[in-house]
Amino acid sequence: MKRLLLGILICLTLHSSFAQNLDKIGKKDMIRVNGGLNFNSIFYNANGIGARREPFTWYANGNLTVNVLDVSLPFNYSYSNNQGKFTQPFNMTNCTPTYKWIKGYAGFNSMTFSNYTLAGHIFLGGGLELTPKKWKIAAMYGRLKKAVPYDIISESDNEMSYKRMGYGAKVGYDGDIFSAHVIYFTAKDDIKSIPFAPPVTQITPQANTVISGLGKIKLAKSWTIEGEYALSGLNKNLLASDELNTETKNKLPFIFNEKGNTQFFSAYKGSLNYTHKIFNVGFNYEHVDPDYKTLGAYFFNNDLENYTLSTAWRLLKNKINVSTNTGLQKNNLDKSKLSTTKRWVGSVNVTYSPNTKWNLSGSYSNFSTYTNVRPISDPYYIKTAADTLNFYQLTQNANASVNYNFGKHKAKQGIMLTANYQTTGDKTGNVTNIPSNLINGNVGYSFAWTPTKTTAALSFNYNQSDIQKIKNIYFGPNLSLSQNVAKNKVRLTLGGGYNQVINNGVANSKVINSRFSLAYNPKLKNEKLGKPTLSLNCAYINKLATAQQVTTFNELTATLNLGYTF
Amino acid sequence: MKKIVYIIIVLFFSPIIWKGSGAVVIAQTYPVQITTQLTPPFGGYLSDYATPGNENLKVLIYLTDFSNPVYDVKLKVKVEGQGITLQSKPFYYSNAFSLMPGQPLQLSGSDLAGLLNSNNLDFSGISKSQYELRKVLPEGFYKICFNAYDNNNPVQIKVSNESCAMGWMVLNDPPFLNTPVCNSTVTITNPQNMMFSWTPMNMASPNSAANTEYEFSLYEVRPEGQNPNNIIQTLPPVFTTTVNTPFFNYGITETPLIAGMQYVWRVKSMDISGRDLFKNNGYSQVCTFSWGTKYEGMGNLNIYLTATPLTHRSAKMLWDSIPVFSSYHLEYRKAGGNWNWMPVNTPNARTKVFDLEPETDYEVRVNGTTNDGYTGQWSNLATFKTPATPIINCEDVAPPPSMQNFQPLKNATVGMLWNIGQFEMLITSLQNTQSSNGQYTGQGRVLLPFGGLGIAGSFTNITVNNNQIVVQGNVEAITKGVDKWMQQHNDDNEYVYDDSYIFNGCIDSVFVNANNQVVIRDCSGQTHIIPNDTNGGLLITDNNGNQWVVNSDGTVTPVTGGMILPGSNQPLTQEEMDILKLAMSLLRAENTSNSVNNLKNTRDQKQQELQSVIDAQRQQANVTNVQPPTNADDGFIGFIEEPNAISNTALQKNIALKEADENYFVSAIARLFSQEAVTDAQLNFIGNYLYVGQLTYKAYVQQQKQANKTNQQIAADVKTQGIIELIKRVVKKRMIHE
């Protein structure tokens, strides 16, 4: 009955809103069409190395929006010949008609309810989104995965998949002070959708139901608290033997009836944010149960507990911006793992622009991981190498750049200095591996002559990597020129670099890389007809060996883009 | 114990043998021989071994007693390790299996379902409910053993050897990706050079710790905006390699990265020995990054913006012209508070805006867009403050506009605000929208600085400069004053409308744009297009009761002062007309140009007084700061009290100024109302829209007549309680809004 009432209500609203626009019928703006088309083709040729791309690939995508009265009907499509051996569809079309606060989805679409439920998974089907005033209602039904049979010829289950159908809904209220939403999502694989599945495979037909609640409250002006709790029930294998059906306590009674191999897990997170004129602070907590999974989301890490604290400061009238981020992550939440891994991530980012001429920035980030192997009190256990498996990894990255801009409006000049240092090292037990280092340095000068719209940039780079006792250095100059021609309708850019490569003290090769690009934006006499664009980009690498053990190769990648918007 | 040591040696030092089969045969003299095989990878999910068709755990049973043609046995299972023991309940046996001598029987998959069902197992070291939570054995080294018993004997008689298979049961997490940080934009280095690094999560597994390889794959996100997870499922990578270090240096000879392209990458952990299981087949969660922006390394793309006010309604903005940008997007808004940005798009490196509010702080920013849609960073945030509205004095003559540096306004649209003398005119219709010499003909509404009040007028070939200031020509309504205005309203003598629209807010003005849409400009300067059309006329009412009628022909008629209900359009009687005429002449006599000027002078004086008080207060504050009091107590009191006293004075002065303001405005408008001789038709119009107290003019006159008042008396009351009140109400409303 409630559903019927709602239906009538919506129909009435639709009717009355339409009534005001009926006058447009017959007028010239009753139907308006606009959109854009894009065609992208990539040509590839390589000599001396195995091909890293197909010789010719193309992508076509675009959209077409038809507006009838107040209803807008956008159609989108994307196609490619680059599907290769992949079997889930890349080629897709969709339509998302919109009328005031009503939005529909048809075709290949994705919708996001929340991170732990339906999280942007592509589906083929239909959906609806209603946003009357502050209410938000969303619902979907569709195919999440296409059935792909077992590849008998190559005996591969890599691409095998069962047909997976799912549906779900999200209902909520988004007020100024608080908002609350509830989510229901369920999906199930069709056992009969593929004729044969190998007995030993990790791809099993599954069924899943997940419910979730989300809330957000604004306290005073500057505090925000958010939270989500999701409970997921998953039957890992619908083919599992009935005899194994032990009575697990159903945490989702009435809505999830899958018996057998069912597991229940939860995921939750909360965040607290404080905004002030000159700084923001955010604290986040996240907990994802071991094995947490929902069929509405692509794979995300589970078995983790995460605390993050981020701050952002704006000092001296926004001249200095400082942001920091630190996070602590821990796994092995149910103590079922042999080892516990703790990860600490920290980063600091500072930018300082005292005036429009100077711009200084620096950043540092640190990723450290410590895996602690649990002491084992097993009678059968004999001390082995495994005892010294405690693992420690440290990755650090530091970055600094200085920009100085000068010159009048007509001739703008700039000097730029950047340096980057990254090091990764690990230690297993008592064995410390020599850390691998990477150093990049770059000095550049740029010049722009505004009257003729010419820009030129010259730079010099030095790169050094020390990886597993191999020291690799390359350095050289780079030049790029760009010029607008034909009344700014065509922009030409030419760039190139020449690098000498030195490996463990021996000059072993020279690398020439060059780029060319052309962008053409003609203006049609009647601008109402639309706007075509054309661009061509070429990248060419040539590695010339000067030592015997190095291979000489060249590689050309050319991209042609054609676009038309109307 | 020695055997176990041997097993572990086998386990660790002969991976090849181990990989082939996990069989360990221990020969004893039992009639039944059992061999258990555990094939890698070793999963800790016991139920997986019981899935129909699964052959990871195989039990081979062989009857060596050839004296029995058929022999039935039943099995028991025991899983041991990590201090945990799961074994068949004392009274539980599997189904019976019939053995024939010399013919081995192989059990696997669903044959083992009953044995591995947790209901049939006794748990020690872990509780059953703990196990059932995830139905997986805690990670570690386990052995799975089987024993056979005589099926036909109710007494437990073991008829076979105990056969066990062992393995490290681990389900590893895939690697965690470190750098480049997910969703980041990587600064382009020329030539390309970046380090991809990740953290392996299987370093505690003895199976794979030393045998892990990583398959690194990099994909382009094409077309833009595609779901990265869908990309990896549907497109081949642009670069892939296998390494044995938890990082990869993507260098100069790797597939060239495209500036501005979004990339998605992931790493697959693989155990070379094949013994370890990984979640998600070893694939990490995906991570995206952008390889800089398309125009990085093309020189300095920062824009420096300056903004200066031109008049109380307009300002000009200038910024650096950057060659790669083909158009600019400028946004301005009132500073402080969450006002919406008002956009302006232009191909030039300068623009002017004309719809600002007087005496208001504004902030402006601009960014550039290239031909192919790349948008640069925002410029600096420029701020400026518009000057106060110039004071209107009806006696004032517009200052002669400068013809020096005259730049004509080449394109005009309905809805523009032009400055004409000290007034502003909202353009409501135009005969020509383009003019090379800045000459335009059309209609507009001259706005007085009071809500809703305005004088409609027409203009012929007036010259407008590109600051939207009228430099030459006259607007009819202004020269002819109220008379023309009244006449305009009386041409059709009644409002015609068949539709009504109530705007939830305060309306500044209403006009019809070139597309025949009704546009409302609200008091904060924002415009709203309302769905209603103008066919048959439309009445618009705002929250303050101000009203406008949008006529069928697209012109807009403001309903002076609001609150007036159209529809009572009966002609005034001769007597009512006479009284109104009297009231008007009284109004005129009262508000001479001298009296208006006097009021203006009073107002200016009050303003000066306020200013001097404020200045004094500032000085006082400085003095207190410079000379700290010698006596702490006195000084403390003085410090607190003095500024208070001053601010009270300032408040009083401010009130006095507001009062003077009101008196002056009311008088100026009253004079405008009554300046010229008024026709009968105009009086009809006013009479129909005038309230005296709570009564309409007609009703009031009738009531007063019955009370035997003279026309003179009634006219005086109509003047003060009706016309002046109406003007006051409008003025007050406007002042409160300010």
CA B368/CA B326 separation, integer angstroms: 7
Q: Are B320 and B304 in contact (CB under 8 A)?
A: yes
pLDDT digits (tens, 9 = 90+) for B411-437: 887 777 787 765 667 787 788 888 888
DSSP bridge pairs for B458: B443
Put simply, the answer to whether B206 touches A202 (Cβ < 8 Å) is no
The token duo for B31 is 């009639």
Put simply, the answer to whether B252 touches A395 (Cβ < 8 Å) is no
| Average confidence (pLDDT) over A145-174 | 88
pLDDT digits (tens, 9 = 90+) for B533-565: 666 667 777 766 677 778 777 777 776 544 444
Q: What is the separation, in whole angstroms, between the first and last Cα of chain A?
A: 46
- Give contacts of B297 with chain A, Cβ < 8 Å: 444, 457, 459, 480
Q: In what order do the strands lie in the sheet with B518-522?
A: B507-512, B518-522, B527-530
**Residue B474 parent element (H or E):** none
Please state, as a whole number, how many other Cβ atoms lie within 10 Å of the Cβ of residue B567. Answer: 10
Q: Are A518 and A487 in contact (CB under 8 A)?
A: no
Q: What is the separation, in whole angstroms, between the first and last Cα of chain B?
A: 95
- Mutation for B interface: A238, A262, A440, most B CBs within 10 A: A440
Per-residue pLDDT at B298:
56
- Mutation for B interface: A238, A299, A433, A551, most B CBs within 10 A: A299
To 5 degrees, how large is the angle CA B78–CA B82–CA B87? 15
Put simply, the answer to whether B298 touches A244 (Cβ < 8 Å) is no
Put simply, the answer to whether A436 touches B286 (Cβ < 8 Å) is no
Per-residue pLDDT at B276:
76
Put simply, the answer to whether A450 touches B281 (Cβ < 8 Å) is no
Classify residue B468 by burial, with Cβ atoms within 10 Å: 0-12, 13-18, 19+. buried
Q: Which residues contact B260 (CB under 8 A, 6 or more apart)?
A: B290, B291, B292, B293, B294, B295, B374
The token duo for A102 is 């009503």
Classified as helix, coil or strand, B128 is helix
Put simply, the answer to whether A199 touches B181 (Cβ < 8 Å) is no
Q: Report CA torsion sign: A122, A123, A126, A131.
A: negative
DSSP bridge pairs for A373: A339
Put simply, the answer to whether B204 touches A202 (Cβ < 8 Å) is no
Q: Report CA torsion sign: B652, B654, B657, B658.
A: negative
- Give contacts of A557 with chain B, Cβ < 8 Å: 255-256
Between β-strands B454-464 and B439-447, what pairing exists: parallel, antiparallel or unpaired? Answer: antiparallel
Give whole-number Cα distances, B122 to A368, B38, B74, B136, B150, in Å.
42, 22, 18, 15, 21
Per-residue pLDDT at B563:
40
Put simply, the answer to whether A418 touches B326 (Cβ < 8 Å) is no
The token duo for A515 is 């780029």
Q: Are A35 and A539 in contact (CB under 8 A)?
A: no
DSSP bridge pairs for B343: B331
CA B133/CA B469 separation, integer angstroms: 78
Contacts 24+ apart (CB under 8 A), B34-37: B34/B59, B34/B60, B34/B61, B34/B62, B34/B146, B34/B147, B34/B148, B34/B160, B34/B161, B34/B162, B34/B163, B35/B59, B35/B60, B35/B62, B35/B163, B36/B60, B36/B144, B36/B145, B36/B146, B36/B163, B36/B164, B36/B165, B37/B165
Q: Which of B48, B249, B256 minimises the CB distance to A438?
A: B249
Per-residue pLDDT at B630:
37
- Give contacts of A80 with chain B, Cβ < 8 Å: 222, 235
Any B CB within 8 A of A258 CB = no
Q: Which of B119, B191, B233 minimises the CB distance to A246?
A: B119
The interface residues of chain A toward chain B in range 493-522, judged by CB-CB distance below 8 A, are 493, 497, 499, 501, 511, 513, 519, 521
Q: Which of A59, A261, A438 minimises the CB distance to B47?
A: A261
DSSP bridge pairs for B419: B424, B469
**Is pLDDT larger for residue B17 or for residue A33?**
A33
The 3-class SS string of A114-133 reads CCCCCEEEEEEEEEEEECCC
Give all strands (DSSP E) within B32-175, no chain letters. 32-38, 57-63, 71-81, 84-88, 97-99, 105-107, 121-124, 140-150, 163-169, 171-172
Per-residue pLDDT at B632:
34
- Mutation for B interface: A143, A218, A241, most B CBs within 10 A: A241
pLDDT band at residue A168 under the 50/70/90 scheme: very high
Give whole-number Cα distances, B145 to A379, B23, B25, B160, B565, in Å.
16, 11, 11, 12, 97
Q: Which residues contact A396 (CB under 8 A, 6 or more apart)?
A: A364, A365, A366, A367, A421, A422, A423, A424
pLDDT digits (tens, 9 = 90+) for A67-113: 887 788 888 888 888 766 666 777 778 888 888 889 999 998 889 99
Put simply, the answer to whether A367 touches B138 (Cβ < 8 Å) is no
**Is pLDDT larger for residue B438 or for residue A205?**
A205
Per-residue pLDDT at B737:
38
Q: Report CA torsion sign: B373, B374, B380, B381.
A: positive
Put simply, the answer to whether B298 touches A493 (Cβ < 8 Å) is yes
Between β-strands B499-502 and B538-541, what pairing exists: parallel, antiparallel or unpaired? Answer: parallel
Per-residue pLDDT at B682:
62
Percent of chain A at pLDDT > 90 equals: 34
Per-residue pLDDT at B627:
36
DSSP 8-state secondary structure symbol assigned to residue A83: T
The interface residues of chain A toward chain B in range 217-256, judged by CB-CB distance below 8 A, are 236-237, 239-244, 246-248
DSSP 8-state secondary structure symbol assigned to residue B316: E
Put simply, the answer to whether B132 touches A248 (Cβ < 8 Å) is yes
Per-residue pLDDT at A24:
54
Put simply, the answer to whether A459 touches B190 (Cβ < 8 Å) is yes
CA B627/CA B625 separation, integer angstroms: 6
If you count DSSP H runs as helices and E runs as strands, how many of each does chain B have, helices first? 14, 40
To the nearest whole Å, the CA of A172 is away from the closest chain B CA by 25
CA A265/CA A291 separation, integer angstroms: 7
Q: Are B393 and B597 in contact (CB under 8 A)?
A: yes
- Tell me what ipTM this predicted complex has: 0.85
Task: Point out the residues of chain B with pLDDT beneath 50.
Answer: 1-27, 392-401, 449-453, 477-494, 561-569, 621-647, 677, 733-738
Between β-strands B171-172 and B277-278, what pairing exists: parallel, antiparallel or unpaired? Answer: parallel
Q: Are B437 and B409 in contact (CB under 8 A)?
A: no
Per-residue pLDDT at B382:
85
Exposure on the CB side of residue A98, measured as CA atoms within 13 A: 12
To 5 degrees, how large is the angle CA A403–CA A408–CA A412? 45
CA A470/CA B547 separation, integer angstroms: 82
DSSP A278-306: SEEEEEEEEEE-TT---TTS-----SEEE
Q: Which of A204, A428, A448 minimises the CB distance to B203?
A: A428
Per-residue pLDDT at A116:
93
- Mutation for A interface: B48, B51, B269, most A CBs within 10 A: B51
pLDDT band at residue A44 under the 50/70/90 scheme: very high
- Give contacts of A237 with chain B, Cβ < 8 Å: 47-48, 51
Any B CB within 8 A of A66 CB = no
Per-residue pLDDT at B564:
40
CA proximity to A562, closest of A76, A81, A60, A82 = A60
CA B243/CA A205 separation, integer angstroms: 33
* Distance, C-alpha A549 to centroid of its chain: 39
CA B431/CA B440 separation, integer angstroms: 7
pLDDT digits (tens, 9 = 90+) for A283-323: 999 999 988 999 999 888 888 999 999 998 888 777 888 99
Any B CB within 8 A of A339 CB = yes
The token duo for B489 is 């309203």
- Give contacts of B51 with chain A, Cβ < 8 Å: 199, 204, 237, 239-241
Residue written as token pair 């029995």: B68
Put simply, the answer to whether A448 touches B299 (Cβ < 8 Å) is yes
Put simply, the answer to whether B371 touches A519 (Cβ < 8 Å) is yes
Asked whether residue A378 carries a pLDDT value surpassing 70, the answer given is no
The token duo for B36 is 């258990």
Put simply, the answer to whether B246 touches A535 (Cβ < 8 Å) is no
Q: Which of B197, B234, B279 minimises the CB distance to A90?
A: B234
| Average confidence (pLDDT) over A422-426 | 88
Which residue of B lies nearest to A418 if distances are taken between CA atoms?
B189
Put simply, the answer to whether B222 touches A40 (Cβ < 8 Å) is yes
Count contacts between A and B (CB, < 8 Å): 323
Per-residue pLDDT at A29:
63
Put simply, the answer to whether B181 touches A263 (Cβ < 8 Å) is no
Give all strands (DSSP E) within B551-683, no chain letters. 556-559
The token duo for B182 is 């997910």
Any B CB within 8 A of A480 CB = yes
CA B459/CA B477 separation, integer angstroms: 9
CA A118/CA A111 separation, integer angstroms: 7
Any B CB within 8 A of A196 CB = no
The token duo for A134 is 């502050």
Q: Are A437 and A466 in contact (CB under 8 A)?
A: yes
